[in-house]
Structure 1
Amino acid sequence: MASVDFPLRPGDPAGSAAAPRLSYVHEWLTDWGGSEDVVAHMHQARPAQALHATIDFLSDTDRDKLPGLPIRTTFLQRAPFVRSRFWHYLPLTPLAVETHDLRDADLIVSSSHAFAKGVLTTAQQLHVSYVHSPMRYAWDLHHEYLADYGLGRGAKGLLARHIFHRLRQWDRQTANNVDLFLANSEHVARRIWRTYRRRALVLHPPVATGRFALEDHKGDHYVTVSRLVSYKRIELLLQAFREMPQRKLVVIGDGPEMGHLRAMCPPNVTLMGWQPHEVVQQQVGSARAFLFAAQEDFGISPVEAQACGTPVIAYGIGGSAETVRDVRSAEQPTGLLFFEQSAAALRAAVEDFDRAHIDPHACRQWAERFSAERFRDGYLDILDRAWQAWQGGLQVEDRLIGELR
C-alpha cells in the first residue's frame, strides 16, 4: 500500500484539524497474546490518548509494552472474582462495553474478537474496527464450546443457548456502529461478510520475524508450539506420531490439556511445557518441519517457524491457507497443507513432506511479508485514507475497499 500525504502524525496538538483525537478499544487486558500485540503495534505507529478495556489486570512487564497509554476500564473491574471467573460475567459484557465513554475521541479504533466493536459512537466519530475474529463461541464454534463446557443439554444448556442467542443479536446489530472493518486474514474477512454482511480490508497482524533467526541446518525432529487447549488439536498430533514411531515430535507449550496429553503421550513425543524464547528458537529453527493442526483465523506461530527457515505442515482451512505456500502448487513453497483434521491425514502429509524439498531461504523470504514493519505501513496508510475520506464526507468503506482491494 502506498502512503498518502495526510498530516495525521504523532505530536500534533490534540484536537487540531491535522490530528484527530484517537482512542483505542480492546476487549480485556489479562494475559498478553496476539491481539494485545496488535494494539501495542497500533499504539507505536499512531499513539492514542487512551485505551479502553472492560478489565485490566496486566502485569507490570506487559504494561510496559503500552508506554504512555492511559487505560480506562468499566464497572466489571470491581466485580467479585472477575479476574479468575471473567466468563461468568459474559452476559454483562455487552453492557460494560457500552459504558465506555468515548465522547472525547474523533477517531476510534477497536481491536475486537468479541465485544469491543460494540462501543457506542456518534455521527461525528469515525469508527474503524480491526477484527481478529467474529465472536467464535457465538457463531462458528458455538456447538463445540457448548460441548467442551458440558452445556449441550439440560437447564444450564438451555440457559447458555438463550444467552448466546441474545449475544448474536447484539453482535450483528452493533456491526452498524462500525464505519470500516479490517480483518486479520481473508478467512476472517469471509466470516465478517457471513456474520455481518459487511466487506472488510485485510491487514495481516504483525509478526516479530526479527526475533527469529534463519537456520539452514535442520535436525530430524518435528515441532509444534501452542497453548494446550482442545481446539489446537495437539491430541491429533500425538495420535499421528504414535503410528509413526520412527519419527520424533517436540511439543512446546502449556495449558489445561497438559494432564490429558501426558497420559496419552507416546515414547517418541516430548512434551516440554512452557519454554523461554531461546529454547523455542533453537527447537523450531532446527526442526525438520513445524506442525499445525488447528483451524485458526490467522496463526502467528507458523509464520514464526517460516522466519526460522522451517517449513510448515498445516491444516489447510483458515489462516494457514494464506500463510503457508503449498509444495504441490507454489513455485517457492514453504510447506504442505492437509485438509482433514484426522491422524491419518496428518500422517499422510508428513510422509508426503518427507519426499519434498523446501528451501529454508524461501520460507524466510515469505515470512517477511507478515512483518511488523509491513503491518505498520499498512495500518498508517489505511488510517490516513479513512480519515481523509471521512473528512471529505465520503462513504469510508466503499471508498477504501475500492482503492485498496
Structure 2
Amino acid sequence: MTGSTPSRVAAYHPAPSRFSAPRVAIVHYWLVSMRGGERVVERMLGLYPGADIFTHVYDPARMSDTIRQARIATSYIDRLPGSKRFYQYYLPFMPTALEQLDLSGYDLVISSESGPAKGVITDPGSLHVCYCHSPMRYLWDHYHQYRRAANPLARAAMPLVYNWLRQWDVNSSARVDRFAANSGFVRNRIRKVWRREADVIHPPVETSLFTPSLEVDDEYLWVGAMVPYKRPDLAVDAFNANGRKLLMVGQGSMLKSLKARARPNIRFVERLGFNELRRAYSRARAFIMTAEEDFGIAPVEAMASGRPVVAFAGGGALETVIADRTGVFFGEQEVHSLVDAVEQLESFLPHFDPNHAIERAEHFAPEVFDERMKRFIDEGSEGIRQWN
C-alpha cells in the first residue's frame, strides 16, 4: 500500500457483545521494563479500562503510570530470589506458574505472548485470545544462537529442559481460541511452530509524537540494543568501509568491542532522552536497520519523523518500509550489501518526499491498532456465543 493514509476509523459496527460488562484479564509474560510489548498492554488497558493484569514478575518502579494503576497479580516466580533481575533463569518454572494463576470468572482473557503467557487455564465459556509478538525465540529459531552464548552449565542443561518446554509450548497453544500476530513474519512463525492460523494486527506506534525537521544532518542513525541478533557490528563495519558519518544509540554486551573497532566517523551514545531521540530521528540522513525484526518499531518512528530507512529485506521491515518510496532494502546481512544500499539511498534522496514516509507511518498509529483489535475480539466473542 502506498500514498494515502489508511481508513483508520472506517465505519465499523461491532456485533452485540456476548458480555454486558465483561470481566477482562490481560496476561503478560513479565513487567520489568517499558518496551513494545508493554506499550501494547497499555493500549489493551485503554480498550478495557477495568482489566486485571496477571504476570510472572512485576517491577512497579519501571512501569508507566497507566500500568501501575491497574490491579496486578503475579505468579510465584515474583517471590523467588532475584526474580526482578534474573527472571529469565526461572523460565523452566513458568509453565507451572501460569497454570496456578486463577482466572476463574473472567469472560475475556488476552494473553500477550513473547515469553510464556498463553498457557493459562481459562473457563470453558471464556474467550481466550493471544496477541503474539513472537513464539519464544530462544526455544525455536534462535535456540542454537542462545545455546552457543550460554554459560557451560546452562548449555549442558538446555537440550533436556528446552525439549520439555517446546512440548508444553505447542500443547498450550491449543488453549487459545484465536491468535493475532504482530506481523505477517510472526504469523508464519506461528503457523510453523504451533500449526495455528493468526490474524495480523500490527502493534501501535505513537506516530503523533514524532515530527519532521526542516534541517537534516549528514549523519546516519542506528538505534537499538547492542546485542548479536540486532547486528550492530554490520553497521559499524559498513560505515568503517564507506567512511560516512553514523550515530549509534544503545547499550549492550557488544558496545565495548564495537567502540574499539569503529573509526572516527562513527560515534556512540548509550542513551538519549525522548526529546533528544526525536531530534535524532528527524535530523538523520536516514535510519539504518540491520536486524531481522519481528516487526520493528524504530523504522516506523523514523518514517513518522519524515526520514527514509535503509533496512535488511527480512522480517517486519518488509511490511513497513516501501522500497524506493520510504526507503531502500539490502538483501544480505553482509557489509558489501549494506554499503551498496547506502549508496542507493544517496541516489534516492533527491527524489525522496518526507510526506510519503509520514503517510506510511500513519498506517501503524495506535488508533489503527485499537480498531483492529476490537474487531478481532468482537468477532471471537461472536464465535464463542455460537459454541455455547
TM-score (norm. length: structure 1): 0.90
Where does residue 4 of structure 1 map in the other structure?
13
| Alignment match, 1:126 | 127
In structure 2, relative to structure 1, the CA distance for the partners of 1:387 and 1:97 (3 Å cut) is same
CA distance in 2, matches of 1:128, 1:17: 15
Q: CA deviation at 1:150?
A: 4.5
Distance 1:63 1:216 in 2: 32
Q: Deviations over 1:46-101 (max 9, x none)?
A: 224310001101316x2412264100001111111112222221111111111111
Q: Among 216, 219, 233, which residue is 1:218 paired with? A: 216
Deviates more, 1:308-317 or 1:379-388: 379-388
Task: Determine which of 301, 315, 318 is the counterpart of 1:304.
Answer: 301
| 1:51 aligned to which of 53, 65, 80 | 53
Counterpart contact for 1:24–1:48, Cα < 8 Å: no
Report how many aligned residue pairs link the two structures. Answer: 377
One of 370, 377, 382 as aligned partner of 1:376: 370
8 Å CA contact 2:34, 2:64 repeated in 1: no
Across the aligned residues of Structure 1 and Structure 2, the Cα RMSD in angstroms comes to 1.6
Aligned equivalents of 2:246, 2:311: Cα separation in 1 = 15
Give the residue type in structure 2 aligned to 1:261.
L
Give 1:208's match in structure 2, choosing from 197, 206, 209.
Answer: 206
Q: Give a deviation string over 1:200-256, Cα, whole Å, max 9, x none.
A: 0000000010110023542211001112222111111001111112x1000112223
Q: Does 1:345 align with 2:337?
A: yes
1:321 to 318, 321, 324: 318
User: The residue matched to 1:325 in structure 2 has which SS?
Assistant: coil
Residue 27 of structure 1 contacts residue 113 of structure 1 at CA under 8 Å; is this kept in 2?
A: yes
The aligned residue for residue 273 of structure 2 is 276
For residues 154 and 69 of structure 2, the distance between their equivalents in structure 1, rounded to whole angstroms, comes to 44
For residues 257 and 150 of structure 2, the distance between their equivalents in structure 1, rounded to whole angstroms, comes to: 16
Using the TM superposition, give the Cα deviation of residue 104 of structure 1 relative to its aligned residue in structure 2, in angstroms: 2.1
Paired letter, 1:23: A
- Quote the Cα distance in structure 2 between the aligned partners of 1:234 and 1:139: 23
- Compared CA separation, residues 391 and 184, structure 1 to 2 (3 A): same
Which amino acid is the alignment partner of residue 74 of structure 1?
S
The one-letter code sitting in structure 2 at the alignment partner of 1:221 is E
Contact 1:252 / 1:272 at 8 angstroms: preserved in 2? yes
**1:185 aligned residue (183, 186, 208):** 183
Runs of 5+ in structure 2 lacking a partner?
1-9
Matching residue of 1:144: 145
Q: What code does the residue aligned with 1:99 have?
A: Q
Aligned equivalent of 2:6: none
Q: What aligned pairs does 1:102-121 form with structure 2 within 5 A after superposition? A: 102-121=103-122
Contact 1:287 1:310 in 2 (8 A): yes
TM-score (norm 2): 0.93
In the TM superposition, residue 257 of structure 1 has moved relative to its aligned partner by: 2.2
Change over 3 Å in CA distance of 1:271–1:214 after alignment to 2: same
Q: Partners of 2:263 and 2:151 in 1: how far apart?
A: 28
Higher deviation after alignment, 306-315 or 336-345: 336-345
SS across alignment from 1:349: helix
Letter in 2 for 1:213: T
Q: Distance in 2 between matches of 1:352 and 1:100?
A: 53
Match of 1:403 in 2: none
**In 2, Cα distance between equivalents of 1:128 and 1:390:** 11
Between the two structures, name the one with larger relative contact order (CA 8 Å, sep ≥ 6).
Answer: 2
Q: Which runs of 5+ in 1 are unaligned?
A: 9-15, 328-332, 395-405
Aligned to 2:7: none
Identity of aligned residues (%): 36
Contact 2:25 2:53 in 1 (8 A): yes
Q: Deviation above 4 Å: which 4+ runs of structure 1?
A: none
Question: In the alignment, is the contact (CA less than 8 A) between 2:103 and 2:123 conserved in 1?
Answer: no
